[in-house]
């Protein structure tokens, strides 16, 4: 994006009725074009959103962060440059580059980094933060020739790396990846000496745009994809299984098919991070079964579920896989070496990200792996990520058991040996609860999404409570599957948000949740901020069954009415406070 394009984006009208996202850009230089690019990139990513941007004091990035009042902004973007650690590391200051000054520069940079770290940690309690570490070349102040790294220079780089490592462990702080920035903006094309000296803005325009682009992406934090459907022949491995047999397929350096090994290794990595992997292959099921018994296969069979192996259309396989996973096509990536198969699936499911596997193009494999990391990458791996596949397999077993036994639902649920742990507590680090609220569609009270800042404000509100539920039965654990946000007013409870993972349907967890809510707060009535959405049919059905009537505009249940309508519940219930 160039500056004219950025200014044109800023000229476009934004919806007046939306609450603006208050963005604070903290940097030690004149924000000038960086501010323009940041807002333009944010608006490009979030066109329905208005942004109000404030900036801090020139030369005082740490002070700007320290003075930020709690609830003073919704987004904090911090851009640190070397001169923020010590002014002598910039070119606008003439404080001395004598050899004798170098130890002191390192010392003072270390103190400045510690102050910044403390300020960022404190602010992260109330606002999500995106941080860009120094990007400009260090000036030639060291006594070694520029081809040789000075010990002092290395110490400075080490302290910045330590600083970045320390803050990256905070769940509300995201650190911009300098490797990605290096790809977009070469080091030699970053510093604008004239602009720095004359206007206090040190960046060349393309560099400012590159930083802003990555910061905007960090701030937006797009929802990662959840599942990957892969082909087998000439994709997961090289060779056509039906022609060369199980010993003829390969994925190694010796046979020049190593790219397929890399792909398998990458899929194993995704699976270990909770991404669902399924196979859709036109193949002989018995042969595929045998191929997956090969001990040298890098992607374990245990990481793949389900297998759709037959000769029908791929789109039919995809349809069944989506049903088994119970997720929407927009959350899925499909990979196949055949452009025709990819086109067939894309036609049936336009929302699916469809990718042709690049056979015999080594550079393209590298690019594919990077692209997939961007599609599936997440801030942290949760406990739920590690049990997702197991719980989906369990749900499949549960369906088969229920459908095949011929017993009543009551009998079935009684035999499921289910337990639910309810937690009443507000933990900022509970990223799973925040994630559930923002990604659940079907059992969702009103479709309301929360920004990082709104979530933090909610947690800091003494009148509000958060109730979460963890579920487990004999088919396996489902992890944290429900989040309910509300407020208590005497004997009445107002529920403002309520979501439940679709993996947890048909177990009466929603009934148990309301029962516990009545009991926990000794409430006589629960009212809901209910809103019908195009996708919350399962929630509407639940309420309609409880009411035995169409849903009214103001949705409330008395304790007596709920008790009368609620079916038998067989869960063992535990309660935990603050997890």
Partner 1 sequence: MDEMETRLVRCFSSVFPDLAAEQIRTASMETVPAWDSLAAVTLVAVLQEEFGLQINLMDLPELVSFVAVQNYVRKHDTGS
Q: Which residues bind partner 1 (CB under 8 A)?
A: 2-4, 7-8, 10-11, 32-33, 36, 194-195, 198-199, 201, 205
- The continuous run of DSSP H or E covering 248 comes out as none
Listed residue (58, 167, 154) closest to 116, CA to CA: 167
Assess contact for 31 and 55: CB atoms under 8 A. Answer: yes
Least separation in angstroms between CB 196 and partner 1: 11
How far, in Å, CA of 435 to CA of 455, rounded? 11
How far, in Å, CA of 173 to CA of 133, rounded? 12
Tokens of 443: 């059992």
Closer residue to partner 1 in complex, CB, 7/429: 7
DSSP string, 134-195: --SPPPS-SSS-TTS--HHHHHHHHHHHHHHHHHHTSTTEEE--HHHHHHHS-GGGTB-HHH
Closer residue to partner 1 in complex, CB, 50/421: 50
How far, in Å, CA of 466 to CA of 433, rounded? 9
Structure-derived torsion over alpha carbons of residues 35, 39, 40, 42, reported in degrees to the nearest 10:
140
Closer residue to partner 1 in complex, CB, 36/516: 36
Sheet with 129-132, side-by-side order of all strands: 51-55, 21-27, 75-79, 129-132, 173-175
Least separation in angstroms between CB 90 and partner 1: 18
Least separation in angstroms between CB 20 and partner 1: 19
Least separation in angstroms between CB 211 and partner 1: 15
Decide: helix, strand or coil at residue 108: helix
Least separation in angstroms between CB 29 and partner 1: 13
Strands 129-132 and 173-175: parallel
Closer residue to partner 1 in complex, CB, 9/228: 9
Tokens of 524: 């006589």
Least separation in angstroms between CB 6 and partner 1: 9
Closer residue to partner 1 in complex, CB, 1/413: 1
Least separation in angstroms between CB 199 and partner 1: 5
Closer residue to partner 1 in complex, CB, 29/349: 29
Least separation in angstroms between CB 194 and partner 1: 6
Closer residue to partner 1 in complex, CB, 4/286: 4
Closer residue to partner 1 in complex, CB, 4/253: 4
Decide: helix, strand or coil at residue 80: coil
């Amino acid at each position: 994006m160039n500056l004219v394009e950025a200014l044109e984006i800023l000229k476009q009208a934004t919806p007046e009725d939306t609450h603006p996202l208050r963005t604070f850009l903290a940097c030690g230089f004149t924000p000038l074009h960086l501010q323009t690019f940041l807002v333009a990139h944010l608006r490009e990513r979030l066109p329905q959103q208005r942004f109000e941007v404030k900036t801090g004091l020139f030369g005082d990035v740490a002070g700007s962060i320290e003075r930020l009042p709690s609830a003073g902004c919704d987004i904090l973007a911090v851009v640190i440059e070397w001169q923020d650690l010590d002014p002598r590391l910039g070119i606008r200051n003439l404080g001395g580059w004598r050899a004798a000054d170098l130890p002191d520069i390192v010392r003072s940079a270390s103190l400045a980094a510690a102050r910044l770290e403390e300020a960022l940690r404190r602010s992260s309690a109330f606002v999500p933060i995106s941080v860009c570490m120094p990007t400009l070349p260090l000036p030639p102040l060291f006594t070694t020739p520029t081809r040789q790294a000075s010990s002092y220079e290395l110490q400075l780089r080490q302290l910045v790396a330590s600083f970045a490592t320390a803050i990256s462990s905070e769940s509300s702080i995201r650190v911009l990846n300098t490797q990605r920035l290096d790809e977009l903006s070469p080091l030699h094309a970053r510093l604008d000496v004239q602009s720095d000296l004359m206007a206090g803005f040190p960046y060349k325009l393309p560099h400012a745009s590159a930083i802003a682009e990555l910061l905007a992406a960090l701030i937006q934090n797009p929802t990662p994809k959840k599942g990957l459907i892969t082909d087998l022949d000439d994709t997961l491995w090289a060779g056509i299984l039906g022609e060369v047999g199980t010993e003829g397929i390969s994925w190694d350096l010796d046979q020049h098919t190593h790219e397929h090994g890399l792909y398998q290794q990458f899929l194993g990595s995704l699976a270990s991070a909770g991404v669902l992997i399924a196979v859709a292959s036109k193949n002989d099921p018995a042969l595929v079964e045998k191929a997956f018994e090969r001990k040298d296969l890098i992607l374990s069979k245990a990481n793949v579920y389900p297998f759709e192996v037959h000769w029908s259309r791929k789109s039919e396989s995809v349809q069944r896989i989506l049903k088994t996973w119970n997720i929407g096509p927009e959350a899925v990536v499909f990979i196949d070496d055949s452009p025709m198969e990819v086109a067939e699936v894309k036609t049936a499911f336009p929302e699916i990200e469809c990718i042709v596997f690049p056979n015999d193009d080594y550079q393209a494999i590298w690019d594919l792996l990077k692209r997939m990391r961007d599609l599936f990458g997440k801030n942290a791996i949760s406990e739920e990520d590690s049990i997702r596949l197991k719980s989906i397999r369990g749900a499949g077993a549960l369906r088969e058991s229920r459908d095949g036994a011929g017993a009543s639902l009551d009998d079935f649920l009684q035999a499921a040996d289910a337990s639910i742990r309810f937690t009443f507590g507000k933990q900022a680090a509970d990223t799973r609860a925040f994630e559930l609220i923002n990604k659940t569609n079907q059992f969702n009270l009103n479709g309301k999404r929360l920004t990082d800042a709104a979530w933090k404000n909610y947690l800091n509100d003494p009148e509000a409570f958060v109730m979460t539920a963890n579920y487990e039965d004999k088919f396996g654990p489902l992890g944290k599957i429900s989040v309910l946000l509300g407020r208590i007013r005497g004997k009445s409870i107002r529920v403002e948000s309520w979501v439940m993972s679709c993996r947890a349907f048909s177990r009466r967890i929603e009934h148990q949740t309301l029962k516990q809510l009545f009991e926990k707060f000794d409430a006589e009535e629960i009212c809901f901020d209910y809103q019908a959405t195009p996708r919350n049919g399962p929630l509407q059905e639940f309420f309609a069954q409880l009411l035995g009537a169409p849903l009214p505009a103001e949705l409330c249940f008395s304790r007596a009415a709920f008790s009368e309508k609620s079916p038998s519940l067989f869960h063992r219930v535990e309660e935990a406070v603050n997890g």
